[in-house]
Structure 1
Amino acid sequence: MEGTTGARKRQRIASAATAYIPDDVIRDILLRLPSRSVLRFRAVCKAWLRIASDPKFALEHHRRQPSLPLVSFLRGGAVDGKGVDAVDFCVEALDLRTDDFRSVVRFTDTNERCGRFGIHGSCDGLLLLSFDDRLYVCNPATHQWTRLPTPLNSSRFAGFYRHDHTGEYRALFYRGSWPGSDYYILVADSRKGRGIGLPSEKDVYKFKEAPSGPPALHRGSLHWPPQQWENHYILVFNTVTEVFRGLLPPPVIRKHMSLLEMENNLTIFSCGEDVTMVELWLLQDYENQKWICKHRIELPAMKVSTYRFKEPWHVFFMSEEGIVLVNPQQKLLHYDINGDLRESFRCDGCHLKITLYTLKESLIRHRFFEMQNNVGDGEDEPPPFFWGL
């Protein structure tokens, strides 16, 4: 009884302290905060709860959030209750404006089971994650989740996106074996998938295999990094018409090229084998497929020239806020847009990786999360992505 009385007293004090602050000022302050802080401050008083629970607030808050690169690593050595060595699998978002980290995903399990985890896509604050051969659409900000149908055998994930006409969140897959090669789609609030065929005959010779590398969603279409066959064309999938086509790459082809959307433009960051120089190419004229080199940055050769890698999205990320690189000592190095070292972070774990996926936090409510039955027959048990958070 005393605990309840104390809580009510603290709430009255908080309400009195904030009563003279106009609602629009409170709203503007909350809009500038990360999702986790907004969720905590909703408990201050009824007025703050009302402001932060407004759907229009959620939309504006999501619009203002930065797109943060995701970093993953393992932190191990712990022993669970059964005496078995366990590790923490951690995914964190790095805010390049403040050089701060935000926890996104974490769970403790054996090293073998942590190896079954994967990040496959990011869209509108939602992540497409896999664990134990199951696919989940999750919102890290609200810890909500739902399952996708089980992919077909011999399938490869291709992309994750929002279908504008229906509002559905869909996952695109490529199946390259019997009973035939084709693309097909799974929907977050459905238990069934459907096939959509292959690119047209005039383009199929350019794209004989599934695209590699994470795609960028721009103008309602998925764009994959330049493919190494047939003149490094960029494969484009229109998510409305569900038609594939090809797009010309930048005039300069580098060993490593990755796509992303930046300030409503399609961009490519690229580098050679030794990572001593990185470039940011911008598709200035989308209709006429004309690229310009917006930034060309030289990095300190003595620090990174000997570091070679096969998968650039695991060790390298670039945006308008600068460049993030993982060096051989498992450090995160943040260079500014001029190539000067701004910050250095030592990882307190192992297997440090940067994914090309970014997270733009969202408090928007989705119907398929509300419909999720979290108590089931074992098929819908909550995934372990948010343990320890």
Structure 2
Amino acid sequence: MAEEEAKMPYLPIDMIWEIFLRLPPKPLRRFRAVCHAWRDLATEHYLLLAHHLRQPSDLLIQFEGFVQRRPPSTPDYMDFRVDAVDLRARIIRPVVLFTERKHHLIGNVLQIHGSCGGLLLISFTDYFARTKRLDLCNPATHQWVPLPWIDTYDIAGLYQHGQDYRVLYRRGIRFGANETYLIFSMTSREIRDIGFPVASQSDADAIACLQRGPRHAYLNPPVLLQGNLHWPPRSEESNTIQVFDTEAETFRSMRTSIQPGSVSSLFDMDGTLAMSSRENAMKHPLFVDLWLLQDYEMETWVRSYSIKFKAEEEGIISYRWPRASFVVSRQGDVLVDWWDRLFWYDMGGNLKGNIQGDPRFTQFLLKESLVPLPQQFFQHIAIGDVPAPPYFRGLWP
């Protein structure tokens, strides 16, 4: 009887499955140590996929590397941090955190170039060690795989193609050569030159966009929806979105309803292409609109919100204009970049909170995933010969 009383109560496998699906990634990883049965279930591929789909799309906030001041006889160091932020739940957690020694003339550079399927494409240039690297990483599992170096100004986007992940980039713009677009495959580690592909030669906007090149991914990230990458309009002259069909591997343009000259960013809001836009950033610095693509095929946009954040009443705007503002949710949450801090407003323009420490909203979203990196990514490289990246050095496993 005593032995029976000491036994753990039986839980049906379906109940355990539902519990696991509701856990954050880190506790789910730790539950694998409870027993063999839980480890097997918590590493089951279909559970991990379902778990990934339930994760929130967190905002990625980067804190620029700041110098740790030390005595003159010792070198300076720079801290680097990227946080995943859930505004509604008021949860902030670091996904990248490390410290590196600083060159005496120039700071090191950390940049995010893509977020797809729970993976981040990250580059780090270390001017002190005179090294630079580009990696595809999983912040939830700390797995990583290196890529050959691609000039960070040329990276246009990261996207998933079946079981493969691919990087789209351009070449030839700054060196006088014929401009061309290339695709790097993580599975085969091959580079394919796709030339200057336009879906229709009559699409003058697409040709003009290609000649200028897509926006740099780390400054104006594209959004992957319906098998297409979408880049925001260029504020200086256009109101059209550039679109790359990842199947046909061709570019085309998409119409929008915003005024030319507007400053815009694109987001995936629950499977709908959304555009946060300021019509005239200097004339109307406190206004921001949210547009939703109601009909993808007909390219029909609907303005969902027009929000004015109450910065004048709070005295925030008295010393400088905001650098940028973004509507980041269907509920009308707005992030305003006021240079040394980020302010969070609701759809009524009311201040809800702020993030200090010289933060920058990367415009990337992250849905964490515990799905391991595919083994095919490692077939053509000797991972033991490549030094580990520093990105997760300051985080607990």
Deviation of 1:338 after TM superposition, in Å, equals 2.8
Q: Would the alpha carbon gap of residues 358 and 114 (structure 1) be closer, same or farther in structure 2, given more than 3 Å must change?
A: farther
Is 1:387 the counterpart of 2:393? The answer is yes
Asked if 1:308 is matched to 2:299, the reply is: no
Q: Does the Cα contact within 8 Å between 1:334 and 1:344 map onto a contact in 2?
A: yes
Q: Distance in 2 between matches of 1:206 and 1:135?
A: 26
Q: Deviations over 1:215-263 (max 9, x none)?
A: 1111100000012466422110000110110100224456310011111
CA contact (8 A) 1:184 1:197 kept: yes
CA distance in 1, matches of 2:307, 2:211: 34
Q: Give the % identical residues.
A: 37
Which residue of 2 is the match for residue 374 of structure 1? 383
- CA offsets 1:104-151 (integer angstroms, 9 cap, x no match): 111111244863221111101000011233211000100111111233
Instruction: Give the superposition deviation at 1:288.
Output: 1.0
The letter of the residue matching 2:108 is G
Q: Say if 2:159 and 2:167, in contact at 8 Å, map to a contact too.
A: yes
Contact 1:149 1:192 in 2 (8 A): no
Q: Tell me which of 84, 104, 115 is aligned to 2:108.
A: 115
1:31 aligns with 2:21: yes
Q: Using the alignment, how far apart are the partners of 1:335 and 1:199 within structure 2? A: 41
- Secondary structure at the counterpart of residue 19 of structure 2: helix
1:154-173 CA deviation, whole Å, 9 max, x = no partner?
A: 96111110113xx2101111
Q: Secondary structure at the match of 1:205?
A: helix
Unpaired runs of 5+ residues, structure 1, are 1-11
Paired residue secondary structure (1:33): coil
Q: State the one-letter code of the partner of 2:289.
A: E
Q: Which one is further off, 196-205 or 47-56?
A: 196-205
Rounded Cα–Cα distance in structure 1 between residues aligned with 2:10 and 2:349: 47
The letter for the 1-side match of 2:118 is G
Structure 2: gaps of 5 or more residues: 126-131
1:7 maps to which residue? none
* TM-score, normalised with respect to structure 1: 0.84
Superposition pairs for residues 234-383 of structure 1, below 5 Å? 234-253=241-260, 255-271=262-278, 272-273=280-281, 274-302=284-312, 303=314, 305=317, 307-308=320-321, 312=324, 316=326, 318-321=328-331, 322-328=333-339, 330-345=340-355, 347=356, 349=357, 351-365=358-372, 366-368=374-376, 371=379, 373-376=382-385, 380-383=386-389
Distance 1:305 1:157, change over 3 A: same
Correspondence 1:100 to 2:91? yes
Give the Cα separation in 2 of the matches to 1:301 and 1:155.
34
Alignment of 1:71-86 (within 5 A): 71-73=61-63, 74=65, 76-77=67-68, 83-86=74-77
The aligned residue for residue 79 of structure 2 is 88
Give the drift of 1:42. Answer: 1.7
Secondary structure of the 1:92 match is strand
Taking a change above 3 Å as real, the CA distance of residues 23 and 78 of structure 1, as seen in their structure-2 partners, is farther
Q: Distance in 1 between matches of 2:32 and 2:152?
A: 46
Q: After superposition, where does 1:106-255 map in structure 2 within 5 Å?
A: 106-112=97-103, 115-132=108-125, 133-151=132-150, 156-164=154-162, 167-175=163-171, 176=173, 177-200=175-198, 201-203=201-203, 204-212=207-215, 213-228=220-235, 231-253=238-260, 255=262
Cα drift, residue 316 of structure 1 = 4.2
Q: TM-score, normalised by structure 2?
A: 0.83
Higher mean displacement: 257-266 or 20-29: 20-29
Per the alignment, in what secondary structure is the counterpart of residue 128 of structure 1?
strand
Task: Tell me which amino acid in the other structure corresponds to 2:111.
Answer: G
Q: Kindly tell me: are residues 146 and 208 of structure 1, through their superposed partners in 2, closer, same or farther at Cα, counting changes over 3 Å? A: same
The alpha carbon displacement at 1:191 in A equals 3.5
Count of matched residue pairs: 361
- Structural RMSD (CA): 2.6
